Amino acid sequence: MTFARSRLACAWCWLALTLFLAPTMLLAQTVTGVGFHHITINDPVNGGTMPGWVFYPTTHVPGETTIGPYHVAATIDAPAIPGAKPLVVISHGSGGSNLGHRELATYLASHGFMVATLEHPKDNFHDVSGLGYAPVLVGRPIQVKATITTLLNDPHWKPLIDANRIGVAGFSAGGYTSLMIIGAVPQFRRFIGYCNRYPNDQGVCHDAKRLADEAQSHGQTLEQMMDGVEKQLTHWGNTADPRVKAAFAMAPLGLIFDEAGLAKIDRPVFLYYGQNDHVLIPKENAEYIRPLMKTLVDVKMVPLADHWVFLDPCSPELAKDSKDICSDPPGVDRVKVHQQIEADALTFFRKTLDVQNP
């Protein structure tokens, strides 16, 4: 066979192979619809249950569902695409909601992930009575662990989850939660030192006087009270979870970790924060913990952004009632910011959970 005829034959081989693989390649690159289902999770910290959602890929035509002030790009109880998929659990911030990061959830689900959210008891939009106490400061990562366990023990969800490919994402207190799940150990006395330096910081220290008065009413100093919270770090079991392989932390509460506590993180971390965060000041939180994490994969700062940029863009209904958390400084486009966050989260979890990138 001449060289020219050999090249022609090879070209036909590649054409045939391409036609054979085309359906598979197309399927791998397709962005699917998203289904979601309400779940109830047993709370090992407070007793009772926690509400949550599971998001998953479906062949159902993409749709939208309205739940209260949230417009969710998913269809309730649409049939799931069979097969084990990586799981990401999302932890909301203090006073948040299990639908506050629905866009990240639906984006990951549309790209082949299972995603679960939960509502942390006593630290959500209708009940923040646990702020400053062990059931929240220690209980949050335990509740994320319980969410994972609930799904892996459920005969419906278990076949859809690859138990060896689990990650977490979190915002603010949820970012703190995510770091604890992969090994970080907090020092709660650090709250006191911070509030002594920033007594007018209402984002972190608004409960400091109330807690100090409560400690005094029990014959304690605030330091002793915080030490008591710290003694409960193993009360509900280890706050770290070896099943979780990576953490995507957005504007995390970082000031209560010291160098030794952060050195215990042994899994990959992606750190995101806003340049002008007035709730969790970067130099005391994100920028402080950045050089102390040995497993930091990447870090991104959103120029000009404040704390709330990491919440999903608000619907008109939500924006009307919650102007503060729905507004951004001039020069910040929350929609575009979230497009980048979602793309970065997808790339990060595909890499760290060893998911084939189509």
Q: pLDDT per residue over 103-141, tens digit each? A: 999 999 999 999 999 999 999 999 999 999 999 999 999
Q: How do residues 228-264 score in pLDDT, each as one tens digit? A: 999 999 999 999 999 999 999 999 999 999 999 999 9
Q: How do residues 34-72 score in pLDDT, each as one tens digit? A: 999 999 999 999 999 999 999 999 999 999 999 999 999
Q: What is the distance between the alpha carbons of residues 297 and 121, in angstroms, rounded to a whole number?
A: 31
Q: How do residues 325-356 score in pLDDT, each as one tens digit? A: 999 999 999 999 999 999 999 999 999 999 87
In DSSP notation, 268-295 reads -EEEEEETT-SSS-GGGTHHHHGGG-TT
pLDDT score recorded for residue 31: 83
Q: Report the CATH fold assignment for 31-186+239-350.
A: Rossmann fold (3.40.50)
pLDDT score recorded for residue 21: 37
pTM: 0.90
Could you tell me the two tokens for 95?
Answer: 């006073």
Give the percent of the chain with pLDDT over 70.
91
Q: How far is CA 51 from CA 39, 136, 150, 326, 354, in A?
A: 6, 16, 12, 24, 30
* DSSP H helix total and E strand total for the chain: 14, 11
Q: Tell me the backbone φ, ψ of residue 210, rounded to 5 degrees.
A: -60, -45
pLDDT above 70: residue 83:
yes
CA neighbor of 87 nearest in space, from 122, 64, 56: 56
> What average pLDDT does the chain have?
91
33-42/85-91 β-pairing = unpaired
With bands split at pLDDT 50, 70 and 90, how would you rate the model's confidence at 1?
very low
What is the residue extent of each domain of the chain?
Answer: 31-186+239-350, 191-232
Residue type, 217: S
Which residues is 257 bridged to in the sheet? 186
Q: What is the distance between the alpha carbons of residues 81 and 161, in angstroms, rounded to a whole number?
A: 11
Q: How do residues 178-234 score in pLDDT, each as one tens digit? A: 999 999 999 999 999 999 999 999 889 988 989 999 999 999 999 999 999 999 999
With bands split at pLDDT 50, 70 and 90, how would you rate the model's confidence at 299?
very high
Give the 3-state secondary structure of residue 23.
Answer: helix
Q: Tell me the backbone φ, ψ of residue 18, rounded to 5 degrees.
A: -65, -45
| DSSP element (H, E) containing 344 | helix 334-352
pLDDT above 50: residue 11:
no
pLDDT score recorded for residue 30: 67
Which residues is 247 bridged to in the sheet? 168, 269
Q: Tell me the backbone φ, ψ of residue 61, rounded to 5 degrees.
A: -60, 135
Strand order in the sheet with 33-42: 75-76, 33-42, 49-58, 114-118, 85-91, 161-171, 244-250, 269-274, 296-302
Residue whose entry in the numeric block shows the structure tokens 């998911």: 355
Give the 3-state secondary structure of residue 342.
Answer: helix
